[in-house]
């Protein structure tokens, strides 16, 4: 019923949206894979990062992409500190408590942003916000094409970091066997905090990629949380390549099911796939053996 | 008398709770108590599966919403008396639990995987309920206002409170009875070590499915009470993530796998919420929206920090200290 | 009317009087303030609407007090008891109970239909007058609650007006619009409106090519834009909250999708929002909206708008609606001559109040619904939002077809 041109555009749209989902999911899966916690504050942290990009643009005219130079280290430090000083001590390593603490953090972040910025939905206007790349009959949004490449780059860097660097190896060791890692002298608390910081840094990048075409209000991050969880599971919890592929896959599924079933019911497509994957292949679609 | 012995604390607590509307006659307090008890009841359902069975669900909204919608729809569309609709609604809620439980546990989902699949089921139900004609779609379902005890609507909030309390008490007694029986022992064995339980001859799958079915039934009662109290439902109210979160927060705060945990957790959680709202409201006149919730979040984290085993756990630890 | 009566100065004077009761026995004691409840969701998903609703109510209370308070009660001041409904019905009910405990004589607000339904019912227990500010679900006034009044239009009325106005505008321009695509949020008002439009547009000579529902929040509207491009309608009818419509309008501009006759929104969260107009003047230009809007010809409208904008907020419809609701209530209290709920309900039911700033004419309630309430059509024209229809209230001519 749709022309090939429309279908192709829908797939490309899905890939471009999915890339950003993937980056948000990479942060989540990293934290999950190492700390084995489900971070309820992930969405609120993304919102905070988006406001950071907004403020840097509104107050200093800083371009959202250049803002990464400030927000990425900033959010890494913030994530590190929050894990070290709040989540770690308050949760006493108990799953239920971690849920509560991250939920508490989400409530604090969301409402602190409400206090400071009020409830308005804001966006930033950059000269290239409406720029397109014309490919035949298609108009591809320039900021969203940029997003795809940045996400691939970040995923590659992260993967290299985990595979090659000493800290990366320590992170993988802790992920695999916490006790063993501690026995060989790895500072588990430090590694946890580094991982959490990396997760937050991923969100800072995602925020910069979103802001040129998206908008921000104190609750906007929630829109991405459920879909990010879905991707984490699809990709296999803890797997970065899995999250990347899962993100792109979910983006396309969402796009096509939205096209054929309508945007509202189309959301069911995501959750049904999610349920089916969990029921029949809980290690995820893309490899990672549990 | 001795048969009642294990239930003495519950009965005493219920008697004290029953006195509250006599002591506090304002609508503010009574309304607060009703809503808190409804949450406590939903949480008691969650606690049976999550606290005793160790299976953390993020999707108890599925059961809450099914109960709520069923009692509302049976009245609004089929003209059934709500007291008759109640058992049907609870049965449907239990059925939802049995179906979701069978699917998830047969697939051997545990931990976060189980949590996320329950969440996904609740989301699917929410999206479907938002478009189906029978639920009223996005316009929701309104239960006709007809204040009459025979109609499960009470002119006096105290009466609704006592009805809610009876259901909560029944759930607490049921959970205590299960806890003391063989089923409870098996359930806890499953929580502590599934493989060991299996080796001892426990039919793990069956225990889990029975647990989620009972759990869903209790939470469905809470849904029915919500519907009868507020008389209006839409998909976000019935199947929204808010109730899934409420249902799991209260037992964690109060004390996982304890009969009183959900009740104490709900009272503390909502008490803190009200307290910060009133206190900040008095300071700022409500002119800084959100600041009360910031404080609430901080108190939540502090509570967990000081009482990592729940409030009951903290009480138990303090008792063991030399006086 | 508001020359010198600064609240502070008056309070100072009264304090002085109170300190010298014997010296001035003939001075009347200050009449007790009349407490009114203002219920809005200022945290959670609906916070933006709630914040602006509250602002409108505050300005109205200020205006009433500066004009001498409630004269029939000896100049009693209105005192706001504010409640945050937290964007859910339970929150609304809890606040109604608190307001009841604090002794309010009436409640105004609620914003969202589920909150209004639950809160008005809770207020009915105490025979507490409840004025719904927005809540467009028609179930609100169909429950036979004698305490509940809705000053604004329900969505049956809104959709009918939207259709009538569309036909009139389209006919006047020589019927450039024949085919239509409807895009709506999948909640109560969007879905309800889409259903009514689908039933009635064909009867009025339009062809509905497709109806596209989307959830709130939506992360991406590219596919909606894509389908619009594939369908190529003359007219787009969107009914969404702020964020989703802004995304859609931006994507359409980027993809160079311009329906021939234009965009005709109904109860849209952005199409009559100055933030959208300021931030994306190009994407916003010439978008029409059938929505609640203040009467631009009333001098008081400009005064209220100035007061609202002085607080750094944009002029949203919630402000004039809540302003008007509070003034309506103040008038009813004035005529009731007592802070008595039963008498205020009677005064509201008999109200012919016309001191509001909505384009409604004198108020007349029938079963709690203000029969004169109706939406108007606005259009974004060169950075401003103008009323284009009905002509009786318009301050600009429609630009139609827009492209």
Q: Residue B49 has what DSSP assignment?
A: I
pLDDT at B267: 96
For residue A237, the distance in angstroms to the closest alpha carbon of chain B comes to: 9
For residue B201, the distance in angstroms to the closest alpha carbon of chain A comes to: 25
- Cα(C351)–Cα(A233) distance, integer angstroms: 60
For residue B78, the distance in angstroms to the closest alpha carbon of chain C comes to: 19
How is chain C split into domains, by residue range? 31-153+298-372, 156-291+377-393
Q: Is the pLDDT of residue B255 over 50?
A: yes
CATH architecture of B2-257: Orthogonal Bundle (1.10)
Q: What does DSSP say about strands C179-185 and C148-150: parallel, antiparallel, or unpaired? A: unpaired
Say if the Cβ atoms of A38 and B119 lie within 8 Å: no
Cα–Cα distances (Å) from A236 to A172, A243, B113, B138, B274, in that order, read 15, 7, 10, 35, 41
Binding partners of B (≥3 Cβ pairs within 8 A): A, C
How is chain A split into domains, by residue range? 4-280
Q: If one looks up domain C31-153+298-372 in CATH, what number appears?
A: 3.40.50.2300
**Could you tell me where the beta strands, DSSP code E, fall in chain A?**
132-135, 138-141
Chain A positions touching B119 (Cβ under 8 A) are 226, 229
Q: Which of A138, B319, A80, A286 is nearest to C257 (CA)?
A: A138
Tokens of B126: 């929410």
Say if the Cβ atoms of A10 and C226 lie within 8 Å: yes
* Cα Rg, chain C, nearest whole Å: 22
Write the CB contacts of C209 (distance below 8 Å, at least 6 apart in sequence).
C179, C180, C181, C231, C233
Tokens of A266: 């189309």
- Cα(C334)–Cα(C70) distance, integer angstroms: 6
For residue B196, the distance in angstroms to the closest alpha carbon of chain C comes to: 45
Per-residue pLDDT, averaged over A237-257, amounts to: 91
Where does residue B109 fall: left (phi above 0), alpha (psi -120 to 50 degrees), or beta otherwise?
beta
Chain A positions touching B43 (Cβ under 8 A) are none
Q: With the C-alpha atoms ordered B127, B133, B136, B137, is the resulting torsion angle positive or negative?
A: positive
Burial class, A81, CB count within 10 angstroms (exposed 0-12 / middle 13-18 / buried 19+):
middle
Residue in A125, A224, A264 nearest the CB of C215: A264
CB of C403 closer than 8 Å to CB of C262: yes
Residue in C48, C224, C279 nearest the CB of A263: C224
User: Which has the higher per-residue pLDDT, A98 or B167?
Assistant: B167
Q: Which of A222-231, B54-63, B251-260, C323-332 has the lowest mean pLDDT?
A: A222-231
pTM recorded for the entire structure: 0.92
Q: Is the pLDDT of residue B30 over 60?
A: yes
Q: Is A180 on the interface with C (CB under 8 A)?
A: no
Q: What does DSSP say about strands C365-366 and C369-370: parallel, antiparallel, or unpaired? A: antiparallel
**Could you tell me where the beta strands, DSSP code E, fall in chain B?**
141-142, 232-233
CB of B140 closer than 8 Å to CB of C189: no
Binding-site residues on chain B for chain C (CB distance < 8 A): 26-28, 30-32, 35, 127, 130-131, 137-140, 142, 144-145, 155, 157, 230-232, 234, 237, 242, 274, 277, 281, 285-287, 289-290, 293
Tokens of C132: 């719904």
Say if the Cβ atoms of C275 and A120 lie within 8 Å: yes
Tokens of A12: 């490309």
Q: Is C79 on the interface with A (CB under 8 A)?
A: no
Q: Which of C292, C282, C180 is nearest to C238 (CA)?
A: C180
- Secondary structure of chain C in the HEC alphabet? CCCCCCHHHHHHHHHHHHHCCCCCCCCCCCCCCEEEEEEECCCCCCHHHHHHHHHHHHHHHHHHHHCCCEHHHCCECEEEEEEECCCCHHHHHHHHHHHHHCCCCEEEECCCHHHHHHHHHHHHCCCCCEEECCCCCHHHHCCCCCCEEECCCCHHHHHHHHHHHHHHHHHHCCCCCCEEEEEEECCHHHHHHHHHHHHHCHHHCCEEEEEEEECCCCCCCHHHHHHHHHHCCCEEEEECCHHHHHHHHHHHHHCCCCCCCEEEEECCCCCCCHHHHHHCHHHHCCCEEEECCCCCCCHHHHHHHHHHHHCCCCCCCHHHHHHHHHHHHHHHHHHHCCCCHHHHHHHHHCCCCCCCCCCCCCCCEECCEECCCCCEEEEEECCEEEEEECHHHCCCCCCCCCC
Q: Residue A216 has what DSSP assignment?
A: B
> What are the backbone angles phi and psi of residue C266, rounded to the nearest 5°?
-130, 130
Q: Is B84 on the interface with A (CB under 8 A)?
A: no
Question: For A16-43, what is each residue's pLDDT tens digit?
Answer: 999 999 999 999 999 988 888 888 899 9
User: Which has the higher per-residue pLDDT, A248 or A262?
Assistant: A248
Chain A positions touching B104 (Cβ under 8 A) are 278-279
For residue A118, the distance in angstroms to the closest alpha carbon of chain B comes to: 8
- Cα(A276)–Cα(C211) distance, integer angstroms: 29
Say if the Cβ atoms of B139 and C89 lie within 8 Å: no
Say if the Cβ atoms of A2 and C220 lie within 8 Å: no
* Cα Rg, chain A, nearest whole Å: 19
pLDDT at C23: 42
Neighbours of C198 (CB within 10 A): 13
Chain B positions touching C47 (Cβ under 8 A) are 289-290
The CB-side HSE value for A269 (13 A sphere, CA atoms) comes to 19
Q: Which of A41, A90, A105, A270 should one mutate to test binding to chain B, selecting the residue with the greatest count of B CBs within 10 A?
A: A90
Cα–Cα distances (Å) from C112 to A153, C136, C237, in that order, read 44, 8, 22
Count of pairs with CB atoms under 8 A, one residue in A, one in B: 123
Buried b (16+ CB within 10 A) or exposed e, B292-318: bbbbbbebbbebbbebbbbbbbeeeee
Binding partners of A (≥3 Cβ pairs within 8 A): B, C
- Cα(A210)–Cα(C298) distance, integer angstroms: 42
CB of B49 closer than 8 Å to CB of B218: no
Residue in A217, A224, A263 nearest the CB of C223: A263
Residue ranges of chain C with pLDDT lower than 70? 1-29, 403
pLDDT at C101: 93
What's the angle, vertex CA A263, arms to CA C244 and CA A239, rounded to 5? 95
Say if the Cβ atoms of B290 and A115 lie within 8 Å: yes
Tokens of C196: 């009514």
Q: Which of C185, C200, C211, C198 is nearest to C267 (CA)?
A: C185
> What are the backbone angles phi and psi of residue C401, rounded to the nearest 5°?
-60, 150
Helix (H, G, I), strand (E, B) or coil at B107: coil
Helix (H, G, I), strand (E, B) or coil at B288: coil
* Residue A115: its H or E element: helix A95-117
C156-291+377-393 sits in which CATH class? alpha beta
Q: Is A103 on the interface with B (CB under 8 A)?
A: yes
CB of C237 closer than 8 Å to CB of C185: no
- Cα(A278)–Cα(B76) distance, integer angstroms: 37
For residue C105, the distance in angstroms to the closest alpha carbon of chain B comes to: 16
Say if the Cβ atoms of C275 and A2 lie within 8 Å: no
Say if the Cβ atoms of C101 and B27 lie within 8 Å: yes
pLDDT at A286: 67
Tokens of A78: 């913030």
Length of chain A equals 290
Same topology, domains C31-153+298-372 and C156-291+377-393? Answer is: yes
Q: Is A77 on the interface with C (CB under 8 A)?
A: no
Say if the Cβ atoms of A278 and B117 lie within 8 Å: yes
pLDDT at B1: 52
Q: Tell me the sheet residues that pair with C150.
A: C132, C369
pLDDT at C8: 37
Among the CATH numbers 3.40.1000, 1.10.3470, 1.20.58, 1.10.10, which is that of A4-280? 1.10.3470
- Cα(B88)–Cα(C208) distance, integer angstroms: 41
Binding-site residues on chain C for chain B (CB distance < 8 A): 42-43, 47, 50-51, 82-84, 88-90, 93-94, 97-98, 100-101, 114, 117-118, 121-122, 124-126, 137, 139, 143-145, 186-188, 190-192, 213, 215
For residue B256, the distance in angstroms to the closest alpha carbon of chain A comes to: 9
Give residue for tokens 């970040």: A154
CA B270 to chain centre: 13
Count of pairs with CB atoms under 8 A, one residue in A, one in C: 99
Tokens of C82: 């504010």
CA C384 to chain centre: 19
């Amino acid at each position: 019923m749709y022309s090939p041109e429309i279908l192709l555009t829908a797939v490309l749209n899905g890939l471009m949206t999915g890339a950003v989902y993937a980056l948000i999911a990479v942060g989540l899966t990293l934290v999950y894979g190492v700390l084995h916690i489900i971070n309820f504050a992930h969405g609120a942290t993304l919102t905070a990062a988006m406001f950071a990009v907004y403020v840097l643009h509104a107050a200093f005219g800083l371009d959202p992409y250049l803002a990464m130079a400030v927000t990425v280290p900033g959010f890494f430090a913030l994530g590190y500190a929050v894990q070290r000083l709040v989540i770690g001590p308050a949760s006493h390593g108990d799953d239920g408590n971690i849920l509560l603490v991250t939920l508490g953090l989400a409530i604090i972040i969301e409402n602190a942003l409400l206090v400071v910025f009020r409830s308005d939905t804001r966006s930033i206007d950059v000269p290239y916000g409406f720029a397109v790349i014309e490919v035949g009959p298609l108009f591809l949004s320039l900021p969203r094409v940029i997003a795809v490449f940045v996400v691939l780059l970040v995923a590659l860097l992260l993967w290299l970091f985990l595979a090659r660097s000493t800290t990366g190896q320590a992170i993988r060791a802790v992920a695999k066997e916490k006790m063993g890692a501690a026995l060989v002298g790895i500072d588990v608390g430090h590694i946890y905090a580094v991982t959490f910081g990396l997760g937050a840094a991923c969100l800072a990048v995602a925020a910069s990629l979103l802001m040129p075409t998206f908008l921000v209000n104190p609750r906007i991050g929630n829109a991405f949380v459920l879909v990010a969880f879905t991707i984490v599971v699809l990709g296999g919890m803890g797997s970065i390549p899995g999250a990347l592929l899962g993100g792109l896959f979910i983006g396309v599924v969402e796009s096509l099911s939205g096209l054929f079933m309508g945007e509202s019911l189309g959301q069911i497509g995501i959750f049904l796939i999610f349920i089916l994957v969990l029921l029949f292949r809980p290690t995820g679609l893309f490899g990672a053996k549990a | 008398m001795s048969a009642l012995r294990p239930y003495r604390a519950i009965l005493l607590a219920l008697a004290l709770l029953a006195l509250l509307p006599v002591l506090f006659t304002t609508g503010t307090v009574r309304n607060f108590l009703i809503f808190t008890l409804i949450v406590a009841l939903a949480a008691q359902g969650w606690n049976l599966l999550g606290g005793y069975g160790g299976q953390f669900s993020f999707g108890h909204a599925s059961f809450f919403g099914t109960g709520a919608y069923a009692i509302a729809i049976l009245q609004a569309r089929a003209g059934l008396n709500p007291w008759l609709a109640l058992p049907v609604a609870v049965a449907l809620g239990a059925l939802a639990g049995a179906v979701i439980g069978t699917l998830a546990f047969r697939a051997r989902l545990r931990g976060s995987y189980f949590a996320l699949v329950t969440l996904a089921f609740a989301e699917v139900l929410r999206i479907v309920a938002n478009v189906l004609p029978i639920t009223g779609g996005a316009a929701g379902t309104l239960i006709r206002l007809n204040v009459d005890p025979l109609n499960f609507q009470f002119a006096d909030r105290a009466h609704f409170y006592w009805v809610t309390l009876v259901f909560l008490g029944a759930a607490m007694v049921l959970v205590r009875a299960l806890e003391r029986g063989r089923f409870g022992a098996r359930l806890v064995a499953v929580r502590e070590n599934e493989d060991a339980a299996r080796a001892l001859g426990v039919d793990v799958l069956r225990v889990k499915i029975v647990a989620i079915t009972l759990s869903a039934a209790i939470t469905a009662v809470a849904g029915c009470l919500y519907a009868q109290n507020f008389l209006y439902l839409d998909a976000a109210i019935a199947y929204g993530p808010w109730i899934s979160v409420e249902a799991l927060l209260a037992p964690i705060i109060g004390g996982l796998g304890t009969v009183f945990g959900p009740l104490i957790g709900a009272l503390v959680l909502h008490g803190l919420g009200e307290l910060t709202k009133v206190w900040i409201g008095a300071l700022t006149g409500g002119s800084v929206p959100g600041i009360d919730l910031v404080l609430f979040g901080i108190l939540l984290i502090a509570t967990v920090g000081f009482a990592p085993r729940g409030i009951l756990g903290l009480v138990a630890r303090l008792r063991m200290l030399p006086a | 009317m508001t020359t010198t009566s600064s609240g502070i100065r008056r309070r100072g004077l009264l304090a002085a009087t109170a300190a010298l009761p014997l010296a001035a026995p003939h001075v009347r004691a200050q009449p007790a303030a009349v407490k009114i409840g203002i219920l809005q969701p200022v945290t959670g998903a609906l916070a933006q609407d709630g914040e602006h609703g509250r602002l409108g109510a505050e300005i109205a209370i200020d205006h009433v007090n500066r004009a001498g308070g409630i004269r029939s009660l000896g100049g009693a001041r209105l005192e706001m008891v504010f409640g945050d409904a937290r964007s859910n019905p339970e929150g609304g009910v809890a606040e109604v109970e608190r307001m009841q405990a604090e002794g309010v004589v009436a409640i105004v607000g609620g914003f969202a239909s589920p909150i209004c339904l639950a809160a008005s019912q809770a207020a009915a227990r105490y025979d507490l007058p409840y004025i719904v500010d927005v809540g467009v679900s028609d179930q609100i006034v169909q429950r036979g609650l004698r305490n509940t009044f809705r000053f604004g239009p329900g969505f049956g009325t809104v959709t009918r007006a939207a259709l009538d106005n569309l036909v009139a505008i389209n006919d006047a321009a020589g019927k450039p619009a024949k085919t239509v695509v409807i895009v709506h949020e999948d909640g109560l008002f969007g879905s309800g409106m889409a259903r009514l439009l689908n039933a009635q547009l064909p009867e009025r000579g339009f062809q509905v090519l497709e109806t596209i529902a989307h959830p709130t929040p939506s992360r991406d509207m590219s596919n909606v834009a894509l389908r619009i491009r594939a369908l190529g309608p003359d007219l787009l009818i969107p009914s969404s909250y702020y964020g989703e419509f802004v995304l859609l309008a931006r994507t359409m501009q980027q993809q160079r999708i311009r329906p021939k006759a234009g965009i005709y929104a109904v109860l849209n969260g952005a199409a009559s929002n100055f933030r959208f107009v300021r931030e994306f003047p190009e994407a916003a230009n010439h978008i029409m909206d059938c929505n609640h809007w203040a009467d631009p010809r009333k001098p008081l409208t400009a005064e209220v708008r100035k007061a609202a904008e002085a607080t750094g907020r944009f002029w949203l419809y919630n402000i004039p609606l809540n302003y008007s609701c509070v003034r309506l209530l103040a008038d009813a209290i004035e005529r009731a001559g007592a802070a008595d709920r039963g008498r205020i309900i009677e005064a509201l039911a008999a109200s012919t109040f016309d001191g509001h700033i909505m384009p409604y004419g004198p108020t007349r309630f029938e079963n709690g619904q203000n029969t004169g309430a109706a939406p108007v059509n606005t259009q974004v024209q060169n950075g401003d939002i103008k009323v284009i229809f009905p002509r009786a209230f318009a301050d600009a001519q429609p630009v139609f077809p827009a492209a």
